[in-house]
């Protein structure tokens, strides 16, 4: 049986758990306690991140996207990657958006709202010391959660940016609520990889944490119902299909536009700065988690955040698929994306990256676009 090592409070554990349940893959969930980190996660992966999947033949896989891609090869029924060019590209884009951009409102609402913060501290404590007293768990939770709570400025989450992040999230909730009023999932009657990208932040933080959960249920009840469909242990019993003829619902276009307005400039600037970093660090194999700072915008608000090269690895997935399409595929995409958006996807990547032994590295074998 598969083992999913993670925690209820973990964004990316929530993503993988939902996938396993949807695919009907039997698994046992194991809390990522300090002992599990010491005895399994660190020695077997070389990093300190969850979730981790242990396969029945004792392979250990870290990173939610790599876990899903590994399992898609072994469980091809009910695939989460659509085959049509429009649906597949949209699914890939919305995974990047959920995984790498919605972490901002997820972290803000968790650590800037006192009720959520207290809940999260207790959850971290229960994960670290599951058999301890409430007081011991709280003390352990304070210690374990401190690096996460302290990460907000690195993500550009400050008092200056707070109102803009909140407004962007509330508008997104409204857009998603409109979409899920007509569709059970992003692209029809079953989830795609984009749904799994969105479910991490929208479930593990923004639905599960009490104050933001109330907000979602009151402001966007259809989003809350989508979350409940996604997290249902009975998800594997629900039949469904993607929309016919490679259709992308019009109700997704405002969300795609939001991604290109807010996140894509950050992705392109990250790729540009990664090129500068590689030129300044010739021969260095492993890329650090952060390599500098950039300015990002939400409406009229501008703030600084760190540059995270991992996002280039995620962006490559959508970028490469777009640039692999023939004239017929690109013509179809033009019915969904604007010429400016397609131009962003076409912009060459001067540096390509790969994940090797759970470290991000320059992909010298692939060269540049």
**CA dihedral of 80, 83, 89, 91, whole degrees rounded to 10:** -20
The 3 state secondary structure assigned to the chain is CEEEEECCCCHHHHHHHHHHHHHCCCEEEEECCHHHHHHHHHHHHCCCCCCEEECCCCCEEECHHHHHHHHHHHCCCCCCCCCCHHHHHHHHHHHHHHHHCCHHHHHHHHHHCHHHHHHHHHHHHHHHCCCCCHHHHHHHHHHHHHHHHCCHHHHCCCHHHHHHHHHHHHHHHHHHHHHHCCCCECCECCCCHHHHHHHHHHHHHCCCCHHHHHHHHHHCHHHHHHHHHHHCCCHHHCCCCECHHHCCCHHHHHHHHHHHHHCHHHHHHHHHHHHHHHHHCCCCCECCCCCCEEEEEECCEEEEEECCCHHHHHHHHHHHHHHHCCHHHHHHHCCCCCHHHHHHHHCCCCCCEEEECCEEEECCCCCCC
| Domains of the chain and CATH, by start | 2-74 (3.40.30.10), 85-252 (1.20.1050.10), 260-362 (no CATH)
The pair of structure tokens assigned to 304 is 């600084």
For residue 236, give every residue at least 6 positions away whose Cβ sits within 8 Å of its Cβ, in sequence order, or none.
21, 22, 23, 24
pLDDT tens digits in sequence order for the chain, 369 residues long: 999 999 999 999 999 999 999 999 999 999 999 999 999 999 999 999 999 999 999 999 999 999 999 999 999 999 999 999 999 999 999 999 999 999 999 999 999 999 999 999 999 999 999 999 999 999 999 999 999 999 999 999 999 999 999 999 999 999 999 999 999 999 999 999 999 999 999 999 999 999 999 999 999 999 999 999 999 988 877 779 999 999 999 999 999 999 999 999 999 999 999 999 999 999 888 999 999 999 999 999 999 999 999 999 999 999 999 999 999 999 999 999 999 999 999 999 999 999 999 999 998 776 566
Residue 100: how many CB atoms within 10 A of its CB? 21
pTM: 0.96
How far apart CA 181 and CA 171 sit, in angstroms, is 15
């Amino acid at each position: 049986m598969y083992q999913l090592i993670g925690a209820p409070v973990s964004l990316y554990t929530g993503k993988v758990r939902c996938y396993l349940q949807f695919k009907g893959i039997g698994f046992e969930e194991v809390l990522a306690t300090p002992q599990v980190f010491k005895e399994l996660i660190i020695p077997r992966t070389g990093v300190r991140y969850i979730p981790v999947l242990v396969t029945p033949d004792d392979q250990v896989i870290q990173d939610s996207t790599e876990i899903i891609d590994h399992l898609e090869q072994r469980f091809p029924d009910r695939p989460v990657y659509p085959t049509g060019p429009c649906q597949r590209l949209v699914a890939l884009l919305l995974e990047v958006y959920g995984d790498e951009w919605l972490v901002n409102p997820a972290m803000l609402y968790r650590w800037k709202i006192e009720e959520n913060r207290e809940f999260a501290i207790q959850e971290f404590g229960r994960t670290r010391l599951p058999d301890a007293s409430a007081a011991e768990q709280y003390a352990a939770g304070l210690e374990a959660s401190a690096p996460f709570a302290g990460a907000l400025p690195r993500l550009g989450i400050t008092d200056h940016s707070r109102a803009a992040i909140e407004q962007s999230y509330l508008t997104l909730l409204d857009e998603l609520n409109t979409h899920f009023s007509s569709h059970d999932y992003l692209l029809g009657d079953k989830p795609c990889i984009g749904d799994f990208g969105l479910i991490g932040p929208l479930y593990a933080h923004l639905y599960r944490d009490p104050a933001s959960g109330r907000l979602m249920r009151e402001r966007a009840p259809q989003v809350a119902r989508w979350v409940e469909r996604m997290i249902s242990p009975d998800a594997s019993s629900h039949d469904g299909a993607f929309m016919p003829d490679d259709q992308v619902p019009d109700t997704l276009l405002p969300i795609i536009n939001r991604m290109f307005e807010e996140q894509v400039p950050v992705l392109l600037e990250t790729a540009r700065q990664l090129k500068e970093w590689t030129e300044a660090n010739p021969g260095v194999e492993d890329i650090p988690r952060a390599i500098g700072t950039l300015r990002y915008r939400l409406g009229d608000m501008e703030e600084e955040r760190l540059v995270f090269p991992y996002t280039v690895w995620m962006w490559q997935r959508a970028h490469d698929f777009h640039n692999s399409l023939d004239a017929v595929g690109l013509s179809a995409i033009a019915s969904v994306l604007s010429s400016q958006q397609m131009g962003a996807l076409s912009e060459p990547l001067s540096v390509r990256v790969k994940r090797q032994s759970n470290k991000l590295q320059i992909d010298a074998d692939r060269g540049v676009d």
